[in-house]
Amino acid sequence: MGELHLPADKVLDAVIVMRRDGTIADWNGHASTTFGWTRDEAVGRLMSDMIIPAEHRPAHAEGLRRYLETGKARVLDRRIEISALDKEGREFPVELSITETQLAGEQVFLGFLRDISERRRAEIALAESEARLGATYNHALVGIAEVDEEGRFLRANDEFCRITGYPLGELTSLTLFDITHPDDLEEDRIRFALLWSGELGADEREKRYVRRDGSVVWIDLVASVVRGTGGARSYGIRVARDITDRKRAEEQQQLLINELNHRVKNTLAVVQSISRQTFRKSAPDALVQAFESRLAALSAAHNLLTEGKWQSARLGALLESVLAPFGSDDCKVELAGPEVLLSPQAAVSFALAAHELATNSVKYGALSQPRGEVHVGWRIQTGRLKWAWQERGGPPVAKPTRQGFGSLMLERALASELGGRVELVFAPHGLRCLIDAPLPGPQDLHLTRGARTGS
């Protein structure tokens, strides 16, 4: 029997020519690279002995016999994936296509084989990755859902179903608008349209869903759109975290703060009334007025703390509120410094300190004279607050012969409250008050401000 030769080694696959008796008639260069046998080693040997694993050889022999007898075959002219052996006995996956043809007048089988080990490893890795992703997806502590361009749910994890109260089978028959609270629906539609148009990169906000049982659930939502490539459809991702308990706690906290605010204001009003009754006959009007103005400073600090839910107050806003009554057309009070958040204790201390300094200035200092000025400035330096009160344009200043309430409060009480140092400098051109203290509260803003009270 003569040798059969392939036209050329121009194909990228391993090509094997097998005679009807199962022996190899030809074998191209890619076949040598794939299986490790040279053409001379392969030609003339049974293909089953060369590249077919032992457990598949009986089936190969039976299939060849059946085809020769009946003309019926299961593998001809089809692409199938099977395992093959190389010269070292390593078993690996191949993609196989067999067709019957004639070479040099002889009926032969022409087989095209391709090593798909890399593809199979990639498929296994992808399957494992998808399995891990699926496990993460379904066991995540946040709700995750995918929606189409109409807002219809395509997929959702277990937590999203728990949040909304809908089983997945029911959820996929709904749109996100079907479960959105009516008060949030208009904003939801607008933002959803902006997301899909690309005008909005991501949507992050708090909103409400109406659960299957009719109850309302608050969620912290992060939504975006994944743009499809290569013909894949785009889809929207919605990540939701249940914050219902937090919102209820915030509502309860606000109720308590409102009640506290009401009670404190009532208490301050009662204290003011008691002071008037107590001092009416035994104290001069100036003393009563001084006491009441200090209550007003406390009230200003209280109002700002109430706005900050009794967690912090802004230094600039506090000083503006306390010092506003002391500016006039003739005198001015200027404020300048970065935004600083004060703890409740520090806010009350600063309110009283600013009030005492302003009151003293009106009586004896710069604010007692036309065109007198007070400059209040502060800065943050190495984690400390540097605060300065500087008066200009007032009468000559001399150090007092005795220490009054204001001085005691500033140099002792304020320093103790802030855990820092307070210094009063009685310079001839105007009083200075210097405060050096640790930052008295959680700082999350660093905005430069320039405020002016008076003209």
Q: Are residues 450 and 320 in the same domain?
A: yes
Is residue 181 one of the residues assigned to a domain? yes
pLDDT at 173: 94
- Which of 49-53, 138-142, 307-311 has maximum average pLDDT? 49-53
CA torsion sign for 256, 259, 264, 270 is negative
Strands 153-156 and 313-314, how do they pair? unpaired
Q: Are residues 82 and 206 in the same domain?
A: no
Domain CATH code at residue 340: 3.30.565.10
Q: What's the whole-number mean pLDDT along residues 166-188?
A: 94
Q: Are residues 77 and 197 in the same domain?
A: no
Q: How far is CA 423 from the centre of its chain?
A: 45
Residues 6+ apart with CB under 8 A from 335: 316, 319, 320, 323, 376, 377, 449, 450, 451, 452, 453
Q: Are residues 105 and 149 in the same domain?
A: no
Q: Are residues 326 and 187 in the same domain?
A: no
Is residue 231 one of the residues assigned to a domain? yes
Q: Are residues 292 and 424 in the same domain?
A: yes
Q: What's the whole-number mean pLDDT along residues 165-169?
A: 93
Q: Which of 209, 242, 275 is the last residue of a domain?
A: 242
Q: Which of 87, 120, 153 is the last residue of a domain?
A: 120
Query: What is the C-alpha to C-alpha distance for residues 433 and 429, in angstroms, rounded to an integer?
Result: 13
- 120 pLDDT band (50/70/90 cuts)? confident
Q: Are residues 308 and 433 in the same domain?
A: yes
pLDDT at 386: 92
Is residue 134 one of the residues assigned to a domain? no
Q: Which of 211, 242, 273 is the last residue of a domain?
A: 242
Q: Are residues 150 and 109 in the same domain?
A: no
The pair of three-digit structure tokens given for residue 116, joined into one six-digit string: 């798909």
Strands 216-226 and 203-210, how do they pair? antiparallel
Torsion of the alpha carbons at 27, 30, 35 and 36, rounded to the nearest 10:
90
Is residue 352 one of the residues assigned to a domain? yes
Range of the domain at 316: 284-454
Does pLDDT of 223 surpass 50?
Answer: yes
Does pLDDT of 279 surpass 70?
Answer: no
Is residue 8 one of the residues assigned to a domain? no
* Terminal-to-terminal C-alpha distance of the chain: 116
Q: Are residues 151 and 97 in the same domain?
A: no
Which DSSP state fits 134?
H
Does pLDDT of 99 surpass 70?
Answer: yes
Q: Are residues 420 and 293 in the same domain?
A: yes
Does pLDDT of 2 surpass 90?
Answer: no
Q: Which residue has the higher pLDDT, 271 or 12?
A: 12
Domain CATH code at residue 89: 3.30.450.20
Q: Are residues 105 and 28 in the same domain?
A: yes
pLDDT at 341: 85
Residue 211 phi, psi (nearest 5): -70, 170
The count of other CB atoms within 10 Å of the CB of residue 108 is 19
Query: What is the C-alpha to C-alpha distance for residues 321 and 327, in angstroms, rounded to an integer?
Result: 11
Does pLDDT of 404 surpass 50?
Answer: yes
Is residue 54 one of the residues assigned to a domain? yes
Number of structural domains the chain divides into: 3
Is residue 48 one of the residues assigned to a domain? yes
What are the tens digits of pLDDT across the range 25-59? 999 988 999 999 999 999 999 988 889 999 989 98
What are the tens digits of pLDDT across the range 346-388? 877 787 788 788 888 888 888 888 888 999 999 998 889 999 9
Is residue 317 one of the residues assigned to a domain? yes
Mutual orientation of helices 244-279 and 285-307 as an angle, nearest 10°? Answer: 180
Q: Are residues 435 and 303 in the same domain?
A: yes
Q: What value does the mean pLDDT of the chain take?
A: 80
Summarize the chain as % helix, strand, coil (round to 5). 40, 30, 30
The count of other CB atoms within 10 Å of the CB of residue 264 is 16
Q: Which residues pair with 168 in a beta bridge?
A: none
Q: Report helix, strand or coil for 326.
A: helix
pLDDT at 445: 38
Query: What is the C-alpha to C-alpha distance for residues 324 and 453, in angstroms, rounded to an integer?
Result: 6
Which DSSP state fits 4?
-
Report percent pLDDT > 90 for the chain: 28
